[in-house]
Structure 1
Amino acid sequence: MSRPLSEHIPSILVVTLSAAFGVCLLETTGVLAELISADSVTGSSDTVAVMLQIVASVFIAIAVYVGAIVTANTFATIIAGRTRTIALYRLIGSSAAAQRRAVAREGLAVGAVGSLLGALIGTGTTVALISVSVATGLMPTANYRFIEPVIALPIVAVMLTTWLASWIGSRRVLHVSPIQATGGAVEKSLDEAAGNRGRNVVAVVFFAFGGALLVLGMIIGMVNPVGVLVGVVGGLFSFTGVVLGSQLVMPVALRLTGRMFGRSAPARLAAENAVRYPERSSRTTIGLVIGITLVTMFAVCVETYQVIIREAQKTNPEVYQGVDQMLGVTVVVFSVLMGFSALIAAVGMVNNISLSVLQRTRELGFLRALGFTARQVREMILAESAQLTIAATLVGLVLGTFYGWAGAQSLLGSITGSPGLVLPSVPVGLLAILAGAAAVLTLVASVAPSRRATRVVPVAALAVQ
């Protein structure tokens, strides 16, 4: 059952970006630490040193977590599309354990290749960023260290989580009987997903517990920056709750967005398809939710961060003398992080929608056989993709705004001259950029695979195994 590595190029790309994201996070944080430590004002502050260590820990946690979620989701999509093939192997005598081991080996190979490529790309990006910053005078010339032992953490973590994702994703194969190889794809309906009470209860508990920790982190952050660590744990718990409960969360958002596309047959069918199989919809959208959440989180965090620093600077100018350069460097660092986040969102969205469309060749062939034209099928796929994109963007904006605000508030709430609790600062241009980018993503992700799918003769599509 083992597939050639070339068939996993989209998965390798996602893993590469996840690893590069983690490596770049840690390396830029290290360079920022060197720069701040060398400053005559900020370098002598014990509080600044503690904050840098905290920020580094936060970035490690974010990098590992994002890598785990994105790669797990991508591999789950691939496994879902192979259910029939795996069932056929079982039908002719292969054991479920053998199929699962084969999938796990593929996951390990994909993780190893992607992680190593990500390490190279992440380091190259950091070196280029620092070189440009030095050349433009944004940062002083110095012997910055890039390759540190700590960067092995996201590399190994992403590789292992990819392997683990393939193992967990293949678990569904154990519940598919060989006779089901003659049937359609195995996807849970909305009622079946809603009836999974154990998972739903865990999702709600995780989300509520994580939200409480986020609030607690902000309260602690008013007296000590260590509150951000509590907030990070809360963010991981709450977002895990969103991921686990996505088959319940996304249909609600999809129903609201589905009404925006009129009452034509393709639009109505797209609206029903988006909520009929919530597992499929959540797999398709969760990558974009992660990306939008990260972009929004970093943008809101750095905006709120600047507001807090500026307010503190007004009341204590002598303490924050020379802080302008630090703010400039911080903005550049966060801009790079937003760029990586946007890439992860784009690749994850395009990859999952493309896989989803191509895995539905039989379904699309059936619609063609019933009288749908190729144009109507493409309109349906475009409308469905647009619904998924809009819903994911809205969810990501809400989560990212809250996480970014909570992060900045819990980290800087206790600094000298802090204005106390401030409102989240959302960049106005961010909403317009995300809306435009989401529209482009929808077109890229849906048009090409839908054209390939609709070129198949209806009779041939119905015969796909």
Structure 2
Amino acid sequence: MSRLRLADQWPTLVVAAVAAAFGAMLLQVTGLLGAAIRADDATGSSDTAMLILAITAWVFIVIAVYVGAIVTSNTVATVVAGRTRTIALLRLVGASAGSQRAAIAREGLVVGTAGAVAGVLIGSFAAWGMGAWAVRADVIPETAYDWANPWVAPPAVVVALTTWLAAWVGSRRVLAVRPAEALGGANESSREELHARKGRNVAAVTLTVTGLALLVIGVLAGLVTPLGVFIGLIGGVLSFTGIVLGAHLVMPPVLRAVGRLLGRSPSARLAAENAVRHPERSSRMTIGLVIGVTLVTMFAVAMESYRVLLLEAVADRPELVAGIEAMVDATVAVFSVLIGFSALIAAIGLVNTLSLSVLQRTRELGLLRALGFERRQVRAMVVAEAAALTAAATIVGIVLGVGYGWAGAQSMLGSVSGEPMLIAPVMPWPVLGLVAAAAVVLTVVASLAPARRAARVSPVEALAVG
């Protein structure tokens, strides 16, 4: 593997490792929670509590795999997009498109496997540490649990295969690279080209509408049985997949509205235009963060709604209230850390894609310097662009998270009292404030290295790259 390829694959390796660690932690912690609940006198005899925990575990396993798949796909697609010129040079000296695509796919499998193995080890160790802390802090009682859990292997296998598949799918554009492109830079699809992809757009709308319909059915089914959450889960995955496929249609209007708030300075206006000029690039950069914010908000709304529904169900049995409260508090404490991991995956995705985007725009940045932009203006433009992307992703993620969180809790616990029970979404305002604050921090962190790199580009480099 060349030095260029090794440098390109570091973001993919990090994402694969974090995704696998997320899955391993999830399974280990869920197993520990299950053992603690079975050992508790108040909740251990409750079949409903065990059923809800089992359902929650499988729901989060699907979410963990899904988050890793989306972020990995976006990272690999960004790497492949940035390697267009190198691929064209290899085509120019006789390499075939098929051999280049196979090489990229092999890289994905090797990197995905390495990241998955490392992630399982890191995730299992972190789960052990989290369990030890929870026992010392009296969050959960000391419980016998076998940490050699064979179920941590499936997330690792899925992450490795997902990274390989993402590399294979992302490398499709290799087939369209012409040797003549060795003379130019990598180009993203324009708005017109993306809108012309009728098949993709129709698929996005179909998946979104179908998923939303299944979410409604899941909520209605949840008024009868907690198994309605599985219908809602399928609906959530389908609808969000549709949103991901159609991100180039969803995100530009939000980015354009946010861009108006950046101000009228040249740096701010260019940042706003950059965010919408290449919808494919912008959607890749924002959709990972949308997933992270959606998950955090969804979990917070779901757990608060979950608490309200459970407490209403046992209101006439005061002896169970304390046990239910303790179980919910323990679940919230543990899963909050796990959800924080998913947000970390999303943050890594944003930092990676923004950094790679700056590397791919050397000619554009050099031309701006040649036209009179000062270094501070280039830095301000990159920071403003990161702010627009982060703000747009946060807004979309909060809206989606509230809807998905309420639907998840309602479809799981709408029948927990024995009678149909429908409540309004419970808004966790402190969590939403924390999400907004985290978005500000992420904007600063994500833009530091790219802004410095962009400011170092000289006007001469525009000619060298062109």
Shorter chain as denominator, the TM-score bin is: over 0.9
Distance 1:420 1:462 in 2: 67
Alignment check: 8 A CA contact 2:358 2:454 kept: yes
* TM-score, normalised relative to structure 1: 0.96
Gaps in structure 1 of 5+ consecutive residues: none
Please state whether the residue corresponding to 1:463 is helix, strand or coil.
helix
Alignment check: 8 A CA contact 1:308 1:418 kept: no
| Number of the residue aligned with 1:144 | 145
Distance 2:307 2:287 in 1: 30
Distance 2:189 2:300 in 1: 36
Distance 2:398 2:457 in 1: 38
Distance 1:372 1:237 in 2: 45
| Number of the residue aligned with 2:205 | 204
Distance 1:334 1:89 in 2: 47
Displacement after TM superposition at 1:40 (Å): 2.8
Matching of residues 316-355 of structure 1 within 5 Å: 316-318=317-319, 320=321, 322-355=323-356
Pairs aligned (count): 465
Please state whether the residue corresponding to 1:44 is helix, strand or coil.
coil
Displacement after TM superposition at 1:414 (Å): 1.2
| Number of the residue aligned with 2:113 | 112
Matching of residues 402-421 of structure 1 within 5 Å: 402-416=403-417, 420-421=421-422
Distance 1:423 1:159, change over 3 A: same
| Number of the residue aligned with 1:303 | 304
1:48-83 Cα distance to aligned partner (Å, 9 max, x none): 333233222212211111111111111111111111
| Number of the residue aligned with 1:251 | 252
Displacement after TM superposition at 1:4 (Å): 5.3
Alignment check: 8 A CA contact 1:311 1:418 kept: no
Matching of residues 51-450 of structure 1 within 5 Å: 51-318=52-319, 320=321, 322-416=323-417, 420-450=421-451
Displacement after TM superposition at 1:146 (Å): 2.7
1:345-389 Cα distance to aligned partner (Å, 9 max, x none): 221111111111121111100111122111211111111111111
Displacement after TM superposition at 1:321 (Å): 5.7
AA at the equivalent of 2:19: S
Displacement after TM superposition at 1:419 (Å): 7.4
AA at the equivalent of 1:211: L
Task: Percent identity, please.
Answer: 59
Displacement after TM superposition at 1:195 (Å): 1.6
Displacement after TM superposition at 1:399 (Å): 0.9
Alignment check: 8 A CA contact 2:365 2:457 kept: no
Distance 1:198 1:7 in 2: 31
Please state whether the residue corresponding to 1:170 is helix, strand or coil.
helix
AA at the equivalent of 1:183: G
Displacement after TM superposition at 1:318 (Å): 4.5
* TM-score, normalised relative to structure 2: 0.96
Distance 2:396 2:167 in 1: 27
1:272-326 Cα distance to aligned partner (Å, 9 max, x none): 1111110010111111111111111111111111121222232333555622321
| Number of the residue aligned with 2:25 | 24
Alignment check: 8 A CA contact 2:378 2:454 kept: no
Distance 1:279 1:430 in 2: 30
Displacement after TM superposition at 1:395 (Å): 0.7
1:252-272 Cα distance to aligned partner (Å, 9 max, x none): 111110100122222111111
Gaps in structure 2 of 5+ consecutive residues: none
